[in-house]
Amino acid sequence: MSSTDAAIALTRFGLGARPGEIEAVARAPRRWLSGQIGAGERLSGLPGSKEALTLFQTDYLPRVRTLQDAGGTGEEAEREQGRLQRGLREIMARHIEARTALAATTGQGFAERWVRFWSNHFTVAAVNPAMAMLAPTLEAEAVRSHAFSRFSDLLVAAELHPAMLVYLDQAVSVGPNSPAGRRRGRGLNENLAREILELHTLGADGGYGQGDVEALARMLTGWTIARPELGHPEARRGETLFEPRLHEPGAQTLMGRRFRDDGAGQARAALLWLAERPQTARHLAGKLARHFLADDPPAAAVDHIERAWLASGGDLSAVAGAVIAAPGAFEPEAGKFKAPEEYLISVMRALDIGDLGRERLAGSLRALGQMPFTAPSPAGWPDGEADWASPDALMKRLEFANALARRAADAVHPVARAEAVLGARLTGRTREAVARAESAGQGLTLLFMSPDFLRR
């Protein structure tokens, strides 16, 4: 196999090549990819959703209330507000550091990209103080555990994860005819149901209507977060649980399919049914092809992935195999423009940097425009070249690349590094530009801003 295929395997399907990887993978690029299916790496030693919610409920909220009761003015109040904000950011910062270090150093780039695809598919974002603590935990707990299992398992784990329930207000959704609804006059929230149908399963053209959104929303009532103040056991604080007092009673009909009311099982049954719909297979086959292959992928590639999805019953290991075997998967022309975070990671890998330091990492991600767990909507981060290739965005990449290139200039030969991380994808034009640079730092910057490197 050629070094072109190895470079494609490492960049298009992985997260970029580190020095020496193209040579190591060149013997069997496809086997290198397929060997990662079902693997993936977990992040250990990080706060989980239960710890995050417990901290929010028992520490953050009481301190906020105390500050508000005291009037919230003066120097001491400002210092306390600063401490509260730092506490909110700490959990997210630790998760971002850990996942970036993993991405920058892993030898399983395809498995890690696969995890990140599904993390973005099931987006949750730090839109409020609670989510600032919770947002990173869905990827760590639900996605990394189920990324290569059946889609139905991943779907249930993601939709009923505490972060998703809080992000889309499901935790406060109440069936109008439930005991709690009749007593308090609180009502239904459709946010999660709508995003499940439109974004996570069937797609906007999946054939559902407003009545189906409402039916699914009613089935989802009861799924909430344990809070001892509502009578839940203290030991379960911060966990997902089913609260019958919030559940809308009665059978529901979703797209012509009747689901009997068996409490917690009703929503689960609906999710499993949605996971098996052919519209879901088609929607996600297209999304996978657009992410891995091209903004406008070949129809044959989408069809290939869809067939594998349907034949396997949504087995994501089989689907991953279909993605790397799809028509056009190893087309030499780079069909994707790197999003900001993957660009940052690919530069780190090219320079063999495993850790930028917390402040530099956060500042770089913020400047590049893609701080993890802050996607602008439940649709997640966009995935097309038009979304990331503006003149201002390119200038931010130039500044980032130049800063890292200057740090590495004394130890890295630009042409040799270009050959090492691009392999046969290094064009003569880029090689010549790097070779003619006035300094090693400039040469590395030219490498990282070349079309060869910006695209995958």
Query: Domain extents for the chain?
Result: 49-275, 340-453
Determine the Cα–Cα distance for residues 401 and 446; give it in Å rounded to an integer: 9
Give the model confidence (pLDDT) of 34-65 as tens digits: 999 998 889 999 999 999 999 998 888 888 88
pLDDT of residue 452: 98
Q: What is the mean pLDDT of each run of 10 residues along the chain (456 residues)?
A: 90 99 97 94 94 91 83 72 81 97 98 99 96 97 98 99 99 96 89 99 98 99 91 92 97 99 98 99 99 98 99 99 98 97 99 97 98 98 97 99 97 98 98 98 99 98
**Residue 380 has what pLDDT?**
99
Query: What are the angstrom distances between the C-alpha of 150 and each of 117, 143, 228, 308?
Result: 15, 12, 34, 13
| pLDDT tens profile 138-183 | 999 999 999 999 999 999 999 999 999 999 999 999 999 999 999 9
Nearest CA among 7, 20, 14, 11 for reference residue 34: 14
| 3-state secondary structure (DSSP) of residue 224 | strand
User: How far apart are the C-alpha atoms of 321 and 252, rounded to whole Å?
Assistant: 37
Distances (CA, A) of 278 to 123, 195, 206: 23, 18, 9
Q: H-helix or E-strand containing 241?
A: strand 240-242
